[in-house]
Amino acid sequence: MHSRGLIDELLELLFPPRCQLCQQPGNDPLCETCLEDALFIGDPICDLCGAPMPEQRPAGQLCEECRDGRILSAARAVGLHELTLRKAVHHYKYQGRTRLAEPFGAMLARVIHRATERGLPMDRCAALVPVPLHPRRRAWRGFDQAELLCRHISPLIDLPVAGDVLRRVRDTTPQTSVQGAHERRENVRGAFEASGAKCLRGRALILVDDVFTTGATIEECVSVLRNAGAVAVYAVTITRTTPHWMLARNELLEGRDDASGHGTGQA
């Protein structure tokens, strides 16, 4: 134990902990200055997909994309896929900044707590289910981003991680390089399989992923889990795409076109 502490101290001397975005020395993987530019989602939101809404309306309000209903029970995200959070997700996934899983996990746990306080029974779910990568992509990346998020959320909300109930059986074209909601749905059709149907029957689950764009990947997973007997499937993500009505408000999105922009062509 003693020597391990010494090694840690030496490592800290050589590589002092830094903000994973701006590289300022400090213990927080995401520093206060970087977090100032995060666009967290607050009320009012669509009751179903969690998208920000222009104004407060009576309970049960749904955004345009949700008017025809969705197979998922409800989705919630920490913030908009812009500025700090977009950059952080990008660094996390593509540059192996896995320390970011810690603040992301805490943020996602808060989102689940808040949703529960507002009447979604997420706390009564049986488990957290990561949206899995294809084994080939996982091997290449070295970690599974959604599974690592689940492991950080799990102790904070006291729910187990069910990492083996959903498998990606087809290595699809990354959704970031597929345009259009219909095309995205087609791209992930049949890409997932459920295993352990017995343990899914009658259960409510929380799917965890990094980004909610059109919801095509998440809804494909929901449909597979529902067919295997799950009664309700919620979804939480770090970010979600900015709704059209907000894109008109350019002042929110200064810095949109910086180096780590949209459409990286990777999953």
Region of 58-66, 115-123, 124-132, 181-189 interacting with Zn ion (CB under 5 A): 58-66
The reply to whether 19 sits near Zn ion by the rule CB under 5 A is yes
Q: Report, in Å, the least distance between residue 71 CB and Zn ion.
A: 13
Q: Are 12 and 38 in contact (CB under 8 A)?
A: no
Rounded Cα distance between 236 and 239, Å, is 9
Which of 45, 53, 66, 246 lies at the binding interface for Zn ion (CB under 5 A)?
66
Rounded Cα distance between 94 and 48, Å, is 30
The reply to whether 49 sits near Zn ion by the rule CB under 5 A is yes
The reply to whether 75 sits near Zn ion by the rule CB under 5 A is no
**Residues with Cβ < 8 Å from 204, sequence gap 6 or more?**
73, 121, 124, 125, 126, 230, 231, 232, 233, 234
Closer Cβ to Zn ion, 66 or 194, answer by number: 66
The reply to whether 83 sits near Zn ion by the rule CB under 5 A is no
Which of 46, 115, 153, 157 lies at the binding interface for Zn ion (CB under 5 A)?
46
Q: Are 210 and 237 in contact (CB under 8 A)?
A: yes
Closer Cβ to Zn ion, 52 or 132, answer by number: 52
- Say which residue the tokens 């343990």 belong to: 199
- Please state whether the peptide bond connecting residue 44 to the residue before it is cis, i.e. omega within 30 degrees of 0: yes
The reply to whether 181 sits near Zn ion by the rule CB under 5 A is no
The reply to whether 63 sits near Zn ion by the rule CB under 5 A is yes
Region of 61-69, 143-151, 250-258, 259-267 interacting with Zn ion (CB under 5 A): 61-69
The reply to whether 31 sits near Zn ion by the rule CB under 5 A is yes
Tokens encoding 17? 């902990």
Q: Report, in Å, the least distance between residue 67 CB and Zn ion.
A: 8
The reply to whether 48 sits near Zn ion by the rule CB under 5 A is yes
Quote the Cα angle for 257-218-259, to 5°.
Answer: 15
The reply to whether 22 sits near Zn ion by the rule CB under 5 A is yes
Pairing relationship of beta strands 204-212 and 232-240 according to DSSP bridges:
parallel
Residue ranges binding Zn ion (CB under 5 A)? 19, 21-22, 31, 34, 46, 48-49, 51, 63, 66
